[in-house]
Amino acid sequence: AEAALALAHQKLENCEVRAPASGVASKADLQVGELVNRGQAMLAIVPDERYVVANFKETSLSEIHPGDAVEIDVDALSGHPLEGRVESIGAGTGAVFSLLPADNASGNFVKVVQRVPVRIAFLTPPTEPMPAGLSATVTVRRVAR
């Protein structure tokens, strides 16, 4: 009986689903009763941590540095700018990581200024609800170096 109880506990533990981060579950990609495997993506987690990813032109990156002050004007917050700081600058352009990257081997030699993702942290978390994916305008306060 103890072995059966231990097996039942093990099976119950195997049914537990744990998220890799704290947040709100969204975009569920499964149906009730569907079997899932370890490591299979079942839904998206929108993290509790709020931040902005702004895509800056590669030509302006020399003027942007981690720690720079940023003003964030979220369209949905109607004229209440928020303060932030540059947290990090992406390691690649948006084109490199896109679903359909440009194929320059096909003879397309038009030079296009690329955009690089810059992560910006809020200094004071917004008090209003901010769903993921909202549009914003960011202004980096350049510091003389």
Q: Where are the domains of the chain?
A: 2-44, 49-140
Tell me if the domain spanning 49-140 has CATH number 3.40.30.10: no
Q: For the segment 83-131, what is each residue's pLDDT rounded down to a tens digit?
A: 999 999 998 886 666 665 666 666 666 777 888 999 999 998 788 878 8
| Residue 101 tokens, joined | 């990257």
CA distances from 51 to 1, 41, 61, 72, 106 (A): 52, 23, 19, 10, 37
Q: Model pTM greater than 0.85?
A: no
Tell me what pLDDT residue 124 has.
Answer: 85
Backbone CA torsion sign across 134, 140, 141, 143: positive
Separation CA 134–CA 137 (nearest Å): 10
